[in-house]
Structures are given as structure tokens and as C-alpha cells.
Structure 1
Amino acid sequence: MSETTATSKELLARPVLKSAISKAARRLMPMLVILYVVSFLDRTNVGFAEAALGADKGVSAAAFALGAGIFFIGYALFEIPSNLLLKKVGAKIWLARIAITWGIVSACFAFVQGETSFVILRFLLGVTEAGLFPGVIMYLAEWFPNKVRVQMFAIFYLAQPFSQMIGNPLSGWLINIGDQVPGLRGWQVMFFVEGLLAVLAGIAAFFFLINGPAKAKFLNSEEKYALKEVMALEDTIKDETGPRGILAAMRNGRVWYFTVIYFCLQVAVYGVTFFLPQQVSSLTGQKVGLAVGLLIAVPWFFGIFSCYFIGKAADTVAKRRKFGTVLFISTGLCIFGSAWAGTNHQPVLGMIFITLAVCSFLAVGPVVWSYPTAFLAGSAAAAGIGLINSLGNLGGFVAPILRTAVNEATQSPTGSMGVYALGVLPFVAAAMMFATRRFKNKADDLLD
């Protein structure tokens, strides 16, 4: 055992460090989860308005698919610049700015007049939200040692199921009551109210977030020192073994490797999420509204447990590789199963497969992010994490277009062929995750 490894493990075992990590998690994680809850809600609530936008404003299925996906073009273009600015001005200001501006754009969806304004606003939503997710990933990598980082990522990822559990019934409820507001439609009320929630979350973030352990008044001097010491040691290892600087990170083969994995994951996530209200409506025969919103909450409820417990268990390199491989395979199989259930009119089986797919792709996300944050630091982290998230999230652009194109090409009456197409890429990611056993990283010694 090397001197560096022994020292690192001794630091991680110290009670004062455990106390610092616990306090940091209690202070920071709730606010970060709230930010992601609102962001995930504002980027996916469009699924509740699909039929209404078509009926009220003439937004065709093709224009809806383009608008649903073009969000990720704006997101990708401004992701790395946003991350670099966050590194310069600090998370406290920048994450608050992101939430406030995307909330304003989200509220403006209440005033959509047709296909053009819908697509433009979806693009602007991506531009304004760019940097939130990778910024938080980078922020957590500055606060929490690699040994517990997947657990923190998993807690952050809990925002997705919470968003869907709370947000889907909320969206359905707002649509129902909004139809009773004179001069407005339910979907307009939904967009406006949920956009304002993001503005309020951004204002709160400015007061709750802290730019690094050194400025944390909730830590005593010993806790600050212990946390800064272990994080500095990990950064030293990253500097020794990982790319240095922005250009080096963007040329790094491992960065591109995990970009492909993350792209495959996002195709599955958004291929399911964007069309979930319509898929559940088709399975159950219920009109999109409160009842469908409550049913959609079920998969995300179970996703909370899979995300949290797998994140907590994945504390070694071998476990992360094993969990990642199995969860990607499970995602693909369950997406196939949900398509089969839809074709064969099996609503109960369909809901079971959807639930298992959600549990799988939620839990695998934190595992994927544990790899790049183990070898990227400083400006290389800002660029590398931004690149992985921006290009990986183009899967969200490809997913609805791929699903619609396959359904039209095959003339699938139930839309199942498009779902089958989405289920292929998780198997590619599973093979790539399994192959990470060939990667050797000095920081991995801190986990085993």
C-alpha cells in the first residue's frame, strides 16, 4: 500500500471528517435537490401539454418532437461556457442565476402562439438551464470525497423521482383547475405556475449555497481542515493522472468514452419521460390529467429507493462497474417489455416494466458520474464534465425524434416500434460500462 493511499484511507476514517461530510450533506443537499426537482419538472412538463398544444395552437406531432428535443441543442451549446463561468464566479451566484432565468422562460410557455414560438422557447429553455446539472456535479466533487460521492450524486438524483411524484400530479391538477380560470387554458396555468417555482428556488439558492468548505460557517475549524485536506489530496492525484486544462480535457479519450455512455443513458431517460403521460394514458385508457399524473408517480416512487440504496452500496470500483452494467441491461430489457405490454394491451405488466425501467436508469446515473469526477479537477473538470453532460444530453434531442421517426417509418399503430428502438442503446452502454475494468486510475485506490 502506498503512502498516499494509506494517508487517504486514514483521513477518510477520521470522525472529524465524517462529521464534516454529514453537516455538509444536511446543509447543501436539500437545496440542490429542490433546484433539480424544479428543473426536471420544467423540462418534462411539456408532455402534459402535448395534446392541448396541438388542439389549441396547432402544434403538430413533428413540431412537438422537434421542440421537445431542441431544448438539448441550446443546452449543449452553452453547457461548457456556463460551467467555466460557474468556476469563475462561484456556485452561489451562478446556480441561482440559472434557476431564475430558466423559470422566467418556462413561465413564458403560457403565451405560446404556435409551432414557431413553441420551438423557440424550448431552445431558450435549454440555453438558460445550461450548466445546472454539470455545475452541481462539479460542485459536489469539490465538497465530497470520492468514497461517498456516488451517495451524494444519488441523493441529488432523487430529485428526478421526487419531481415526477410531486410534479406529475401537480401538473395534472394545475391543468384541471386551470381550465376553470376565465380566459385561460389549463396548460397555460401549469406552465406559468411551475415557471414561477423555479424563480423562487433560484432566489433561495443564493442564500443557502456556499462556495466551498473554507467559507462554510456551519463547520468548525477542525472540520474545515479535515475536509479541505482530503479534497486537496484527491485533487493532487487527479492532477497527476488526469488531463490538465480545458483543451486537454476535451481531447481526453476517457472523457469521450463516458460521453457516449451518458448519451445512451439519456436516450433511454428522455425517450421514456417525454412520452410517459401519453404511454400511460394509452395503457390505461385514461385521459391525461390528475389520474394519469398519479399513476405516473408510482414508478418514480420506487425509483427513490433504487437510486438511494444502490448509490449507497456502490462504494468500490468493482461494485460500481457491476451495478452499472446490470442496471443498463435492466433498462433496455424493461423498455422492450413496456413496448410489448402496450402492443398486447397488458396495462399491469406495462406499468411494472415502466417502473423497473425507471428504477434502473435512475440508479445508474450516479454510478456513471462517479467515473469522470474521479480523474477530472479544476478547469479540466469544468470542461470535461460540461462536455460529457452537454453532448450526452443530446440523447434527449435524439430520443423523441428517433421514436417518432421509427413509428412513422414502420406505421406502428401503438407506437411500440419507436419504444423498441430506444431500448437498444442501453445495451451498448452496458457493454461499455463492463469494459471500464481496463481503466486504471490512481484515485481508485482510495475506494478499495
Structure 2
Amino acid sequence: MSATLPAAPTTVRYRMLFLLCLLAMITYLDRAMYGSAKGDLMAAVGQPEKRFYLVLVAFQIAYALFEIPAGWMGDRFGPRITLLRVVAWFSLFVGLTAFAGYALPGTEIVVIGFGVLVAMQFLFGIGEAGAFPNISKAIYNWFPEDKRGSAKGLVWMSARLMGGLTPFVWVLLVVIGGLTWRQALGVFAAVAALWCVAFYATFRNRPAEHPDVNAAEDELINAGKGATQVNEAVPWGRIFTNRNVLALCAMYTVTNFNWYFLMYYLPKTLKDQFPSGNATDGGKLLLALLGGAPLLVGMAGCLLGGLLTDRYIRRTGDRKWGRRIYGMLGYGLAGCCYAAAAAFTGGNLWVFAGCLILVGFTNDLIMGPSWATAQDIGRRYSAIVSGAMNMVGNLGAALGNLITGLILETYTVKQMVDGKEVDVVSGTGYVTCFTMYAVVYGLGVLTWLVIDPTKPVVEEIVAPEPESEETR
């Protein structure tokens, strides 16, 4: 009688990853649309577009401050309920933003003016906080150690894909398709609500909780992990004084300080520097595609960075340099590309846009290694460590948006375009920003030398294998 072959592992983990990738896309859709909607939105509340950076700063500060509480929720209650809270909350405020500047029927009373809009974006930031730390926690729960970098790279690839397509989608829906900007925001909020329904029905916190996961897949995912600690006190002091965690936070500040220009300011930059592109629908679509292209190529950077870091570790066993090399390479190249963009500002459209597109690709080489390092260091506290990294990083984003906004506001001048007087940023403003970003990336290269992914905050004790009959 032949022996029964062991069952092959099921592949439920990839269904979970698909849902997480969809979530990453939705979060970026609901943020990147402000790069296209801000003109209409600020006009609705009676403010010049150049002051929109105050709205961005409010969002980033809230997003940063609530990363750790949301990460703690994921570690304490699981990513399922936490991510449902995240998406339900922020989709509500995306929908409410559609009523900015809208007067109550039969009156001239405007409930959502500029001040309320800023406050709402703060609440929107609270809602989105914790999305990526809890995605990281879900990946830690659902993927074996040597696949987490690749899985995280796919998540960031999906986010960049949607962020890059958003300007194009906006032109199709609003400029060409005829929807109002308010209707477009309603569509985006509805998409997020539908995701909540699918996620609630399908996702579970751990493989053991999912009825479709067989024993082989559960064993594959959990091999080498420590036993789950129930109601264990979180070592907050150890986490926030850990040299690795502090270095990780400093490193991630660099990418957030520099990167958000591409999502929030690049579409207008292209309109300012190359106004002839706005003359036709085809030209508008081209500028929209170029405005989103850094995020589109960034998805390849996210995927490649994750694959390369995991491949290096599998081949050499050297986790420290497997994470460091691609982080340092990404930051160094991104700084060079920003410096080149400063040199070509006001020149050829394709060369200028190409430099900034390469910033998107090279910056995103660090995304897989960064978030995989947070998992390496955090282990069972990976959501909290990821939240700390993203919190400090987004404080850097708030600072970057503030400084960038002030620089661009300083260099904003009035120009006549198509017979109308409009605000346009001079080339000097953009050169100043790009030079600043290049210097900050250089500092970022050095931060990777301090990070050691082989030293977790708390060492895990791997549960011993049960004794077989032969060893008893």
C-alpha cells in the first residue's frame, strides 16, 4: 500500500495579498486626486490654490500622529478590524469633502469653508493613519519570512500604480467625461465602501482563522515564528529608545520629505513650465500621464526593490546588507535625478519630466527594504514599529509640504494665460526645491549605515517542535 503524499499548501495568502493591494490603491487614489482637484476645491472655498499646502500639512500631521495608535490597535486587536475602521473613516471624509463650499439649499450659509476644510483634512488624516502599518502586520501574519519583502513590494507597487493613474483618471472623469469634481469624489468614496464589504467577508487576521487554509499552508507561513503572546505588555520604552527604530524613523523621514512633491505638486509644475500642453485635450492627457508617471514607474521600483532584497538575503544569508544596499542605492540615485531636474528646469519637456520620472523609480527601490526592515526589527510588534516609522516619516512629509509650499508661494507670480490672469510658479522656485531634495537624499544614504535588520527590538523564542514517537 503506497504512502499518502502530503497535501500541497493552499494559496489563500495570495487572496489576502490581493485585498491588501487593492487597499493600497484606494488610499493613494483618495490622496493623489488632490493634485488634480485642488484648484476646484480651493476655488469652492474662496482661496487661492497656492495656499493648498496648508490643507496638506493638516492631513500629514494627523496622519503622522495617529500612526502609532493605529499600529497598536493592529497588534492588539488584529489588522482585520483595524483596517475596516481605517477605510470606513477615511471614505466618509472623502465623501464629505465633496460638499466643500456648498451652500445649504435656499441659503447662503456655507458649512464647509476653508477653516472647516483644513479641520476635515486633519480628520481625514486620522482616518488613513495606520493603513500601511496594519498592511505590514497582515503581511507578517500571512507570509513566510523570505517572501515578506516581495509581498510588501507588491503592495507599494499597487499604491504607486493607482497614484500614477489618478491624474489620468481625473482628466477622463472630469475634464473629458463631464463629471463635476464633487461627483468624482463621491465615486472615490463609494469605491472604498465597496472594498470594506469584500474585506469583511474574506479577510481573517491569521491563517489558522481562515476555513480555506490547510495545515500545510499554515505551517509554511508560520515556520520559525515565535509563539503568539496573548495580552503581553507592549515594551513601549524599549521600542522608542531602540537605536534601530530611531535610525529607521530618520531614514523614512527622507523619502517622505522629498517624495510628496511628485504626487501633490508635479501636475501643476508641468502646467506652469509647459503651458502650451493645455491647449488641447490630447495635450492635457499627455501632461496628466507625465504628472503621474513617477508613481507609475515607482511601482516597478517597489517591486524590484522587494525582489532584490529578498533575493540577496536568500543567496548570501546576509540580512543586514541585503536591506541596506538597495536602500542606499535608491536614495543616492534619487538625489542625482533631482539635481538633474534642477539643471533642466524650463528646458525640454521630455528631459525635465524624465528626470522626475526617474526620481519616482529610484526612490521606490527603498520601499520594499524599508518596510521589510520594520518587520525584521519589530517582529511581533511589527505594526507598532512600522507605525513609528511611518509616523516620523509623515512628520517629515508635513515639514516637506510646509517648506515646499512656502518656497513655491514665494516664487508665485501673476501671468496671463488664455486671456486670464493666473498664479504661476517661476522656474527659480522649482530649482530651489529640487536642490534641497537632492541634499536631503544624500543625508538619507548615511542613515542606512546605522540600521541593522538583524537586531530586533525583542528577541522571539521559537516554539519547539513537538516530539515524535521515535524521540520519546
TM-score, normalised with respect to structure 1:
0.84
Indicate conservation of the 8 Å contact 1:60/1:115, yes or no: no
* Within-5 A mapping of 1:103-118: 103-113=91-101, 114-118=113-117
Give secondary structure in 1 for the equivalent of 2:11: helix
The whole-number CA distance in structure 2 between the counterparts of 1:374 and 1:425 is 25
Aligned: 1:321 with 2:311? no
Partner of residue 451, structure 2: 436
* Within-5 A mapping of 1:126-145: 126-145=125-144
Give secondary structure in 2 for the equivalent of 1:111: coil
Q: State the identity %.
A: 21
Give secondary structure in 1 for the equivalent of 2:451: helix
The whole-number CA distance in structure 1 between the counterparts of 2:198 and 2:455 is 38
Q: Which amino acid aligns with 1:396?
A: A
Give secondary structure in 2 for the equivalent of 1:424: helix
Indicate conservation of the 8 Å contact 2:144/2:222, yes or no: no
Partner of residue 333, structure 2: 330
- Mark the CA change 1:423 to 1:205 in structure 2 (over 3 Å): closer, same or farther: farther
The whole-number CA distance in structure 2 between the counterparts of 1:377 and 1:435 is 19
Partner of residue 240, structure 2: 250
Would you tell me which structure has more helix in proportion to its own residues?
A: 1
- Mark the CA change 1:157 to 1:440 in structure 2 (over 3 Å): closer, same or farther: closer
Shift of 1:154: 0.2
Give secondary structure in 1 for the equivalent of 2:211: coil
Structure 1, residues 205-257: CA drift from partner, whole Å, max 9, x if none?
11221111211333212321332233238x89xx9xxx962332122221111
The range that moved more, 310-319 or 103-112, is: 310-319
The range that moved more, 323-332 or 220-229, is: 220-229
The whole-number CA distance in structure 2 between the counterparts of 1:191 and 1:137 is 27
Partner of residue 167, structure 1: 166
Q: Which amino acid aligns with 1:171?
A: W
User: How many correspondences in the alignment?
Assistant: 415
Indicate conservation of the 8 Å contact 2:21/2:154, yes or no: yes
Larger Rg: 2
Give secondary structure in 1 for the equivalent of 2:378: coil
The whole-number CA distance in structure 1 between the counterparts of 2:35 and 2:157 is 21
Q: Which amino acid aligns with 2:455?
A: N
The whole-number CA distance in structure 2 between the counterparts of 1:253 and 1:435 is 8
- Mark the CA change 1:201 to 1:76 in structure 2 (over 3 Å): closer, same or farther: same
The whole-number CA distance in structure 2 between the counterparts of 1:53 and 1:222 is 52
- Mark the CA change 1:281 to 1:322 in structure 2 (over 3 Å): closer, same or farther: same
The whole-number CA distance in structure 1 between the counterparts of 2:451 and 2:122 is 34
Give secondary structure in 2 for the equivalent of 1:141: helix
The whole-number CA distance in structure 1 between the counterparts of 2:216 and 2:182 is 52
Indicate conservation of the 8 Å contact 1:33/1:159, yes or no: yes
Give secondary structure in 2 for the equivalent of 1:112: coil
Q: Which amino acid aligns with 1:120?
A: A
Partner of residue 419, structure 1: 434
Aligned: 1:305 with 2:307? no
Match among 369, 373, 376 for residue 375 of structure 2: 373
The whole-number CA distance in structure 1 between the counterparts of 2:248 and 2:299 is 24
Shift of 1:345: 2.1
- Mark the CA change 1:104 to 1:435 in structure 2 (over 3 Å): closer, same or farther: same
Aligned: 1:292 with 2:287? yes
Q: Which amino acid aligns with 2:392?
A: L
Structure 1, residues 35-86: CA drift from partner, whole Å, max 9, x if none?
1111111122111122223434322345310101211211122222222222
The whole-number CA distance in structure 2 between the counterparts of 1:222 and 1:215 is 14
Indicate conservation of the 8 Å contact 1:405/1:418, yes or no: no
TM-score, normalised with respect to structure 2:
0.80
Indicate conservation of the 8 Å contact 1:274/1:400, yes or no: no
Indicate conservation of the 8 Å contact 1:271/1:419, yes or no: no
Indicate conservation of the 8 Å contact 2:245/2:377, yes or no: no
The whole-number CA distance in structure 1 between the counterparts of 2:151 and 2:20 is 11
Partner of residue 267, structure 2: 277
Indicate conservation of the 8 Å contact 2:153/2:302, yes or no: yes
- Mark the CA change 1:25 to 1:213 in structure 2 (over 3 Å): closer, same or farther: closer
The whole-number CA distance in structure 2 between the counterparts of 1:141 and 1:188 is 38
